[in-house]
Amino acid sequence: MSAEVVGSNPYSRLMALKRMGIVNNYEKIREFSVAIVGVGGVGSVAAEMLTRCGIGRLLLYDYDTVELANMNRLFFRPEQAGLSKTDAAVQTLTSINPDVVLEGYKLNITTVEGFGSFMESLARPFKEKSSASPSGVDLVLSCVDNYEARMVVNQACNELGQTWIESGVSEDAVSGHIQLLIPGETACFACAPPLVRLSRFSIPCIHAWLQVVASGIDERTLKREGVCAASLPTTMGIVAGLLVQSTLKYLLEFGQVSRYLGYSALKDFFPTMEMKPNTQCTNAACVERQHEYVKKKPERDALARAKAEADRAVQDVAPLHEDNEWNITVMDDDDDDKDVFLDAQTTPNSQILPEGFLRELPDADDAFRKLDEAFVGGAAAQDNDLEELERQLQALNSD
């Protein structure tokens, strides 16, 4: 991944993040592996963004096919109708950036067989894999559109101890959210009661959905003929952008990653919140991850203190202002030499006063007096010159 600023380098503008100090090591993105579950309105756009950013590997999961009804969204094209969404995505993304390793899995993760294949593929290591990940991928992005699939992703990530980010768009297409889930550290998808969970998605008819969750009815059987959820490419694009932005911040370790970030299009409202894990969660793997997290807390605190001390030490020895290509120098307010520096830039060396001496401004009356003297002296000198010229003319006439 080159940082050379030329028109033929697809990464030059991305590498500028490193030159500007936003990211310490942007090249590291080539080591990361990200799984995207659901290649629909949000997932497909997120996949394209990560591909353009130069991610190392993308794993794409979906069992559906491309339809003309999907054309109101971004990414897919009419000629891809009939293809599986994963095949169509791999086709498009390969043409955008052949450097990215792409793996498409056409499977339904909510089935027993599909779940087994899902778990197996997530655990499979990447040759350039970052050592920080507990599984074969560094992050899982959930872009599915139903509760059942979200619970399956939640189960898989809890079992693997895998960090993931859940996303969703409301049925009326005017709100959405993303949520970072770290097993043991944050609430998993099963920790919160259904009322809190579903109301956060802005799903209409909340009481009907509560009955669905409580009774275990298959959501797919509730679809009415000729009725479908609304879909706005704007809302999905915004949610996908927030999702990938958080992904980059999490992987490349810059900025702050919100644990939950909502979006309401009608009011341009972006709520944030954080949910702690439920110690009585019904998901056994979640409870197990919580116990592991508590056990490792002293070790994490010690590492955090050591890192903070190392950062302070670097700041103490680092120069206040490094050289830059524009030769701009910034002085601190408490710099004792600031006044002398400014004087040296605007005053000739012969007029710089020694330390401890002050130059007083002239009195106004004195300034006017000197001006008058200069004017009178100049006029007198001019009169003398005229008298001398007159004498010379008279001498010539007398001759």
Task: Choose among 1, 19, 85: nearest CA to 48.
Answer: 85
289-327 core/surface letters (b: 16 or more CB in 10 A; e: else): bbeebeeeeeeeeeeeeeeeeeeeeeeeeeeeeeeeeee
CB count, 10 Å around CB of 192? 16
Phi then psi for residue 263, to 5 deg, are -145, 125
- Which residue shows structure tokens 């550290």? 185
* C-alpha distance across the termini of the chain, in Å: 97
Distance from C-alpha of 223 to C-alpha of 229, rounded to nearest angstrom = 10
Angle, CA of 268, 273 and 279, to the nearest 5°: 155
Task: Choose among 238, 194, 243, 234: nearest CA to 216.
Answer: 194
Distance from C-alpha of 155 to C-alpha of 190, rounded to nearest angstrom = 9
The sign of the dihedral angle between the CA atoms of 310, 313, 319, 320 is positive
Task: Choose among 114, 155, 157, 112: nearest CA to 137.
Answer: 157
Distance from C-alpha of 188 to C-alpha of 296, rounded to nearest angstrom = 19
What are the residue numbers of the active site?
A: 228
CB count, 10 Å around CB of 249? 16
Q: Which residues pair with 33 in a beta bridge?
A: 57
